[in-house]
Homo-oligomer: A and B are copies of this chain.
Amino acid sequence: MGWMQDEAGLGKCAANYVPLTPLSHLLRAAEVFADQEALVYGSLRRSYGEYHERVSRLASALVGAGVAPGEVVATLLPNVPAQCEAHFAIPACGAVLNTINIRLDVATVAYILDHGGAKVLIADSQFLLLAMEAIEAMEGPAPLVIEVPDEQAGVPGLGEQMDYEDFLATGDPGFDWILPQDEWESLSLNYTSGTTGKPKGVVYSHRGAYLLTMGTPISWRMTLFPVILQIPPLFHCNGWHHVWMAPVFGGRIVCCRNVTAKAVFDAIADEGVTHFGGAPIVLNMLINAPEEERRATDHLVRVFTAGAPPPAATLERIEAMGFEVTHVYGLTETYGHVTECLWQQDWEGIEGDERAARKARQGVAFPMMEPCVVLDGNGTPVPRDGATQGEIGLRGNAVMKGYYRNPEATAEAFAPGYFLSGDIAVQHPDGYLQIADRAKDIIISGGENVSSVEVEGVLMHHPAVLLCAVVAKPDDKWGEVPCAFVELKNSASVGEDELIAFARERLAGFKTPKAVVFGELPKTSTGKIQKFELRRRIELGAS
């Protein structure tokens, strides 16, 4: 401990200690990058000066509407400028930002509004009906509703609630932001998708979000004035914090309401997008885009991909198109990405399968995190042999404060002094993590563990396969066997037997799927395939 013999006069004071908060980034940008473009959405363009003024108005209007520090303000918005503004304005009035997934059902939205106790709900016109039905279904008091029409997307206002621009007009553009006095104060509340049981409310601190914004850019090779296409929904880990990070760099956020291949190619060509994050499914969408939607570009685009391990076939093809992909990994409980498959300088010559295999690893800790560990059942790190499996344990300043109003679940998640991720992985001798599977996705066939990820990686190499997911199917003889759900490319075709034979050539017998089901796969809003839904289909006799 570095306390000196005499620390008299060496304490914290106004001059030398300021609580960390991502809000400081926009305050600085309003000073340093006032005329620089901050937000782009269709034909709408806003400078940092304008952005700051609108955020100040919104914060002030929320105070005027009776929002007190520590209260919750929710949003039900796609990636539109109002959602970006909410990311600063809600904390800037001392409140806690609760972004709600626009694809949830009425009952779940109602549960979240009740559980978080939202005082205000800012909702897009397209999702206003969902909002109103959810409010109808609430047990507690209804929030004030602010409606955000979307002219750029041709979504008109319904006109029965307070209009967003009218609400802003009630605010003071010179409003003094209410900044945290303690960086541990709560910044945002993000409900997990809740595939089992009720969703849990993950709480982020100002400190954690600040440190994530500072640790993210390094391996992403981000420097001044990036152009970031906001593909990750801002209601998912606050959109990987890109909106909070961009002002540090005088960066431009290009809002993306509907993620289509055309929208992405257009943004790269027309706005000069340099960076974006997206699930592997987004990369697949670009790879398989029809020729007429593609646009030529003369600059490198750096991509963070997360949400699922990127299949080797996807990596190979997207890199050939001029995208540089870094696989990152994290969970809602870790503010988003906390490990990165950092590409080493002496790996430059590695090509082909080996390159894709390395790129598919989850990698090493970001700078704001402690070194990664893989823990056995006793909470002891497993050997770094690339073979022994255990559960990934995460520790560092980008781990949540805990679950809101659920101290038992928080204590359980943090029991071994790490956040237990629920992901089963090996650690390679070089320290890189590689996920074998989600704990619950492991298939146990004849006593052998089968990694669904491995089987999926093989199937993705078949030229007709667009997407696939492998889950356990109960089997009298083997206990479980792998069952593949496959979505084919447009106009491609392959039969069940042919695909099983293709897999058998590349996999051990016990790993080879015993059944294949063709059809569109169910996905979450962030492009994750919903395996629980596939398991339900198996229970219902789909295969």
Q: Is A7's CB within 8 Å of the partner chain B?
A: yes
Q: Is A174's CB within 8 Å of the partner chain B?
A: no
**Copies of this polypeptide in the complex:** 2
User: Is B1's CB under 8 angstroms from A36's CB?
Assistant: no
Stretch at the interface among A184-192, A311-319, A447-455, A515-523: A184-192
Instruction: Select one of B8, B224, B418 contacting A219, CB under 8 A.
Output: B224
Q: Is A195's CB within 8 Å of the partner chain B?
A: no
Q: Is A405's CB within 8 Å of the partner chain B?
A: yes
Q: Report the separation of the CA atoms of residues A400 and B184 in the bound assembly, to the nearest whole angstrom.
A: 22
Q: Report the separation of the CA atoms of residues A158 and B148 in the bound assembly, to the nearest whole angstrom.
A: 77
Stretch at the interface among A68-76, A273-281, A464-472: A68-76
A411-438 vs B, CB cutoff 8 Å, 1 = contact: the mask equals: 1001001110000000000110000000
Shortest Cβ distance from residue A118 to the other chain B in the assembled complex, whole angstroms: 12
Q: In the complex, what residues of B have CB within 8 A of residue A411's CB?
A: 9
Shortest Cβ distance from residue A82 to the other chain B in the assembled complex, whole angstroms: 21
User: Is B224's CB under 8 angstroms from A404's CB?
Assistant: no
Q: In the complex, what residues of B have CB within 8 A of residue A419's CB?
A: 15-16
User: Is B180's CB under 8 angstroms from A1's CB?
Assistant: yes
Q: Is A182's CB within 8 Å of the partner chain B?
A: yes
Stretch at the interface among A134-142, A164-172, A210-218, A530-538: A210-218
Q: Report the separation of the CA atoms of residues A117 and B411 in the bound assembly, to the nearest whole angstrom.
A: 45
Q: In the complex, what residues of B have CB within 8 A of residue A181's CB?
A: 1
Q: Report the separation of the CA atoms of residues A14 and B402 in the bound assembly, to the nearest whole angstrom.
A: 12
Q: Is A397's CB within 8 Å of the partner chain B?
A: yes
Q: Report the separation of the CA atoms of residues A298 and B415 in the bound assembly, to the nearest whole angstrom.
A: 54
User: Is A367's CB under 8 angstroms from B25's CB?
Assistant: yes
User: Is A218's CB under 8 angstroms from B32's CB?
Assistant: no
Q: Is A145's CB within 8 Å of the partner chain B?
A: no
User: Is B186's CB under 8 angstroms from A7's CB?
Assistant: yes
Task: Return the chain B residue nearest A397 by Cβ.
Answer: B18
Stretch at the interface among A91-99, A125-133, A487-495: A91-99
For the complex of A and B, list the 9 residue pairs with the smallest distance between their C-beta atoms, beginning with the closest. Answer: A9-B407, A2-B185, A16-B399, A221-B223, A10-B401, A9-B410, A14-B417, A214-B214, A15-B414
Extra contacts, 18 of them, besides A2-B186, A15-B418 (Cβ < 8 A), are A2-B70, A2-B96, A3-B69, A9-B402, A10-B410, A15-B399, A16-B208, A16-B399, A16-B401, A16-B402, A17-B397, A25-B367, A32-B342, A218-B248, A218-B249, A219-B224, A221-B224, A224-B345
| Chain A contacts to B: CB under 8 angstroms | 1-18, 20, 24-25, 27-28, 31-36, 69-72, 91, 94-96, 117, 178, 180-182, 184-187, 189, 203, 206, 208, 211, 214-215, 217-219, 221-225, 248-250, 342, 344-346, 364-365, 367, 370-371, 394-397, 399-408, 410-411, 414, 417-419, 430-431
